[in-house]
Each structure stands twice: as structure tokens, then as C-alpha cells.
Structure 1
Amino acid sequence: MGEWRIPLGVWAEAGIEWVQETFEGFFEVLGDLLTAGYTQLTAVLNWPPAIVMILILGVAGFFARGLAFGASSTAALLLIQLLGQWSNAMMTLSLVIVAVVVAAVAGIPIGIAAARSQVVSNVVRPVLDFMQTLPP
């Protein structure tokens, strides 16, 4: 007896291809905006000398959480600098900041809409439940 298969992969691929073709202009503009934000933020974070940034962040850590946090964060940042990874760390920090901003811009309005509308909540809740079951 022949195998019965649902061509889910083919359908998903066709759907993704349709979205890419249909919204190509939107994705190009969005990609350009995100790239520009990342590039500018990386330039700003790399502009002052590393030791200045380390001291600023260490003092901020001290005022935010106390002496132990300020000292340990200063030591960790100093280690990053001494290992020659400061530029890579600032690039990573830029990516994280851009990702957090994108997530907040998308997530906050969706959360507010879900709180105010049962219909939106009924759509969003299963999606969030499904996302929690996916492995990393």
C-alpha cells in the first residue's frame, strides 16, 4: 500500500516564498532600517575609548546595585577588553539592543490589544502556548 503524506513542507515553502515576493519592498525597507540602527548604535558604543565605557558602566552598576555588582561588572568588562574582544562585545550589545527594541515595538501593542479584546486574546494565546513548547 502506498504511503500517504501531507506535503506540509511544500506548502510551507510556497507560503514563505509568497510572503517574500509579496512583501519584498516592505522587508527591504525594514532590513535597511534595522541595519542602519545597528550600524549607528555600534558606532556610538565604539566611539569612546573602552576604558571610558568600562568606568561609566561600572559606576552605573555601582549606583544601580551596589559595590559588589559595580566592581564585578567592571572586572568582567576589563577582561573583555584585555582579551581583545571589546569591539565584538559592542557589536553583540548593539544586536541585543536592536532586538529588544523590535520585540517591544511589536509585543507591547499586541499585549495591549490582547488584554482589551477577547478575539485578539483568542488568537494570540495559542500562538504563545505553542511557542513555549518549542525547544530552543
Structure 2
Amino acid sequence: MIETYRGVVYPYQLDHMGHMNVQWYTEKFDEANWHLFSRAGLSATYFREYNRGMAAVQQTTKYHAEALAGDLLVCRSGVTDIHEKTLYILHEMHNTETQKLIATTELVCAHLDREARHACPFPPDVRAAVKALLIEGN
């Protein structure tokens, strides 16, 4: 897995119970996702030049520990599987001070032809880059 996000929990991200609200987990995992895509050759330039995109078609998040104001967070990410038109992704969020696992999210993402408005196969160079991001043991 590779590092894809580093950030801090700000007070405005807390809910009425004093910990980071679930919407911010999703936001931080989303930022991690774009960094992982870029490492796989799925960059903003690629999307513009080839009129392609990615769509999350399923996401499952598990919360393991609270994140509080001032906590420093890091996400590590990798690919668990690749099919012709879809990626299976795992993100792990840890507290950098305690190394405690805060949350995980698993995504199924489809590669899109934005003009035809349907899923399309990954090109060979992207498939090769994605294979380098596969998590061992999967």
C-alpha cells in the first residue's frame, strides 16, 4: 500500500459528540482516492484528453476508532483487484501519533467513457500501472 493522504482533523469537522463527523472520513478517503488514481495513470490530464472518468459504484466504510480535533491522519491505499472495467480499492486511515487504525473504506470504481456514458475497458498502460499497486496476498 502507498501513502495517499496526510491531514489534520479541524474543530469545524467535529459533530455534536466531539469527534470527526462521518462526512469528513468520506472527504479524506476521496482525496486519497484521487492520488491513487493518479499513480495508476488515471490523472486529470488522462481524463480530459481521453474523455474518460471514474465512478464509485459501491463504497463500504468501517469505523474503528474516533478521530478528534488536532489528530494527524494518514491514509494508505492499494488495489485489491482489477477487472476489465472496474477497480477494487482499499484505503486505511491511521492516526499518525498512535498508529491506531481509525477507519477503512473499500470501493468498487468503474472506468467510464464520458461520451458514450458507459463503462469501458482500461487501456494496457493503466492496467500495468494498476498491477504495480496491487496489495500482496489479494
TM-score interval for Structure 1 and Structure 2 normalised by the shorter chain = under 0.3
Bigger Cα Rg: 1
Q: Which structure has the highest strand share of the two? A: 2
Kindly indicate which of the two structures has a greater share of residues assigned to helix: 1
